[in-house]
């Protein structure tokens, strides 16, 4: 280690045995079969922070310091002794790492290339459990300590701040924040990078690149989220959309040996990822947050070798030739023998003229921990009478002073589960306002006032409410399919037995066999989850359909 090192070790104390487990000699021998022994000198850098291809090391003699470079100094994160190993989630994703590995004294390590680590976690159950648990817990620690390669300089009054926070959080990427509203000394930092207040939020990426109010795509590019992925090869299966349906299809297809690529406009998890607490998903009696479920599913898909292009939207399906091609915004097209469409549906927007002005700065389409923090102690409105509106109201009632639920109809019984209605009735902070619609939104940089009308009495009222959660039904994400597959009257994709002989004839179905379950009017192209006509809009049904479609993908690949 250099003399400039500042000894500030992290406090992993609570679960140190799981974060930095000690491997047995038998386990080390099994890893050694996949790598090579390397002698290291004192001070030698084994891996640099930000190096493109992560490698894995097991210490067998001496010790390795995990350090975080900061200018010409290093901050000590942890010290690994014989039997301990390096690595975290980037080992699975193939993204750049955040730390430098430096030998603290002369010693020996076993060095293993990333692809051999991936093979190991797929074939050795015992090592898979130890390694994956340590990788995930280390990522949790990095996030908790903001130990990433990103600084977000933002303001609660800038819509982009919440968007980028949500993007980084939902991609499980550690970052630290500087809040312009609270940190008076930040102006000097902005001046240093010649950034004006209009450029907010600012993302400082890897301590070098300064992005001014960037798109999610620019953030993903800067952090190299997609660098390790080859666009050129023809994939057995391309899955469009990484919500529960797409992630499930990825886990099953990759674990069954298919070469799988997922495309995702935003972050893994889809709508479910924005759910504060999913309470009816099998196996989680106390509920699980959508973010947790998505993180676990994404890690599981990566463990089996599925790859995900983040912040890349499918813009067109080219369906007049095989393999099928999928055009991506600003990127090279990807080629697929089979396709699973799992693009879900989006919540309807409120019919208010100046809505866009307040989206992200007072009007939200999901109620997660991030939004709950922003509106803590204030009055909020939830619009909608479905289950997601009910969940949002109950969740927000923990932190908000009062939650008004606005519904057009006279009651919730026809649209919401009984257990949620009961929770709402038992929560004094929630007020149900039937027959009520929002008619105007007012404010400047942020929503300040909401006007609503009671359609029964005809009276209108204006309230100083700064946060509206719109949860009012869904529209399918099928715009990019441009006539390739048959849709129902609401624009959802028709599959299997829902495709009548007339619909198949109109779509020029070319095969003697009928479409498989979940297959669209285009052979080898399947639709699963919320985007599919007749789908029950639940996480469990999305997950189930994702797995079922894979069984038929195998059949099509063998046709």
Using CB under 6 A, list all residues that contact ligand FAD.
240-246, 263-266, 270-272, 274-275, 278-280, 313-314, 342-345, 366, 388, 391-392, 477, 480, 529-530, 537-540, 542
Burial of 540 (0-12, 13-18, 19+ CB in 10 A): middle
Q: How far apart are CA 430 and CA 241, in angstroms?
A: 34
Rank residues 241 and 533 by Cβ distance to ligand FAD and give the closer one.
241
Burial of 46 (0-12, 13-18, 19+ CB in 10 A): middle
Distances (CA, A) of 373 to 51, 159, 442: 35, 15, 22
Distances (CA, A) of 349 to 90, 288, 470, 550: 37, 27, 7, 33
Rank residues 305 and 366 by Cβ distance to ligand FAD and give the closer one.
366
**Residues sharing a CB contact under 8 Å with residue 252, sequence separation 6 or more, in sequence order:** 546, 547, 550
Site of tokens 């929560």 = 427
The separation between CA 23 and the C-alpha centre of its own chain, rounded to angstroms, equals 32
To ligand FAD, the closest distance from the beta carbon of 531 in angstroms equals 6
What SS3 class is residue 136?
Answer: helix
To ligand FAD, the closest distance from the beta carbon of 2 in angstroms equals 44
Rank residues 154 and 246 by Cβ distance to ligand FAD and give the closer one.
246
What SS3 class is residue 111?
Answer: strand
Rank residues 108 and 292 by Cβ distance to ligand FAD and give the closer one.
292
Provide the 10 A C-beta neighbour count for residue 119: 14
Q: How many helices (H) and strands (E) are present in the chain, helices listed first?
A: 17, 29
**Which residue, among 31, 228, 16, 24, has the nearest Cα to 138 in the 3D structure?**
16
To ligand FAD, the closest distance from the beta carbon of 33 in angstroms equals 39
To ligand FAD, the closest distance from the beta carbon of 372 in angstroms equals 12
To ligand FAD, the closest distance from the beta carbon of 240 in angstroms equals 5
To ligand FAD, the closest distance from the beta carbon of 258 in angstroms equals 19
To ligand FAD, the closest distance from the beta carbon of 366 in angstroms equals 5
Rank residues 10 and 247 by Cβ distance to ligand FAD and give the closer one.
247
**Which residue, among 351, 342, 312, 350, has the nearest Cα to 330 in the 3D structure?**
312
DSSP bridge pairs for 509 = none
What SS3 class is residue 402?
Answer: strand
Rank residues 127 and 309 by Cβ distance to ligand FAD and give the closer one.
309
Rank residues 40 and 293 by Cβ distance to ligand FAD and give the closer one.
293
Rank residues 133 and 349 by Cβ distance to ligand FAD and give the closer one.
349
CA angle 131, 134, 136 (to 5 degrees): 105
Q: How far apart are CA 29 and CA 162, in angstroms?
A: 47
To ligand FAD, the closest distance from the beta carbon of 421 in angstroms equals 14
Rank residues 365 and 509 by Cβ distance to ligand FAD and give the closer one.
365
To ligand FAD, the closest distance from the beta carbon of 479 in angstroms equals 8
Q: How far apart are CA 287 and CA 89, in angstroms?
A: 24
Rank residues 21 and 473 by Cβ distance to ligand FAD and give the closer one.
473
Residue 542, CA atoms < 13 Å, CB-side half-sphere:
27
To ligand FAD, the closest distance from the beta carbon of 405 in angstroms equals 14
């Amino acid at each position: 280690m250099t003399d400039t090192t500042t000894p500030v070790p992290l406090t992993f104390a609570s679960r140190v045995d799981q974060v930095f487990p000690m491997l047995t000699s038998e386990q080390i021998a099994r890893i050694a079969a996949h790598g090579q022994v390397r002698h290291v000198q004192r001070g030698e850098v084994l891996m640099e922070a930000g190096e493109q291809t992560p490698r894995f090391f097991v210490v067998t003699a001496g010790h390795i310091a995990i350090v975080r470079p900061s200018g010409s100094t290093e901050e000590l994160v942890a010290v690994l002794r014989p039997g301990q190993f390096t690595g975290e989630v980037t080992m699975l994703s193939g993204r750049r790492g955040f730390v430098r590995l430096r030998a603290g004294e002369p010693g020996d390590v076993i060095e293993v290339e990333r692809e051999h680590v991936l093979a190991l976690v797929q074939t050795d159950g015992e090592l898979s459990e130890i390694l994956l648990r340590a990788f995930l817990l280390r990522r949790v620690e990095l996030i908790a300590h903001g130990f990433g390669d990103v600084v977000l300089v933002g303001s609660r009054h800038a819509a982009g701040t919440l968007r980028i926070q949500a993007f980084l959080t939902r991609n499980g990427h550690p970052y630290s924040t500087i809040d312009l509203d609270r940190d008076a000394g930040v102006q000097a930092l902005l001046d240093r990078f010649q950034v004006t207040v209009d450029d907010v939020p600012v993302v400082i990426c890897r301590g070098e690149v300064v992005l001014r109010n960037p798109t999610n795509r620019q953030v993903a590019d800067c952090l190299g989220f997609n660098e390790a992925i080859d666009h050129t090869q023809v994939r057995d299966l391309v899955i469009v959309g990484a919500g529960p349906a797409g992630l499930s299809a990825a886990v099953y297809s990759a674990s069954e040996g298919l070469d799988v690529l997922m495309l995702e406009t935003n972050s893994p998890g889809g709508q479910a990822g924005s759910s504060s607490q999913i309470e009816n998903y099998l196996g989680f009696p106390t509920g699980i947050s959508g973010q947790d479920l998505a993180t676990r599913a994404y890690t599981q898909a990566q463990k089996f070798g599925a790859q995900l292009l983040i912040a890349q939207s499918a813009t067109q399906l080219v369906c007049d030739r095989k393999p099928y091609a999928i055009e991506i915004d600003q990127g090279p097209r990807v080629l697929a023998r089979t396709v699973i469409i799992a693009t879900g549906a989006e919540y309807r927007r409120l019919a208010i003229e100046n809505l866009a002005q307040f989206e992200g700065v007072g009007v939200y389409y999901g109620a997660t921990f991030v939004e709950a923090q922003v509106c803590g102690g204030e009055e909020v409105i939830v619009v909608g009478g479905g289950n997601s509106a009910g969940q949002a109201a109950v969740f927000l009632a923990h932190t908000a002073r009062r939650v008004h639920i606005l519904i057009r109809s006279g009651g919730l019984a026809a649209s919401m589960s009984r257990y949620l209605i009961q929770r709402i009735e038992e929560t004094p902070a929630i007020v149900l306002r039937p027959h009520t619609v929002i008619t105007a939104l007012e404010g400047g940089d942020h929503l300040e006032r909401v006007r609503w009308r009671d359609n029964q009495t005809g009276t209108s009222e204006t309230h100083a409410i700064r946060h509206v959660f719109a949860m009012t039904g869904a529209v399918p994400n099928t715009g990019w399919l441009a006539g390739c597959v048959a849709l129902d009257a609401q624009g959802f994709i028709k599959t299997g037995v829902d495709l009548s002989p007339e619909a198949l004839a109109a779509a020029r179905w070319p095969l003697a066999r009928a479409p498989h379950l979940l297959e669209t009017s285009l052979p080898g192209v399947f639709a699963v989850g919320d985007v599919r006509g007749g789908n029950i809009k639940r996480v469990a049904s999305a997950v189930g359909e994702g797995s079922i479609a894979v069984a038929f993908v195998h059949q099509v690949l063998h046709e």
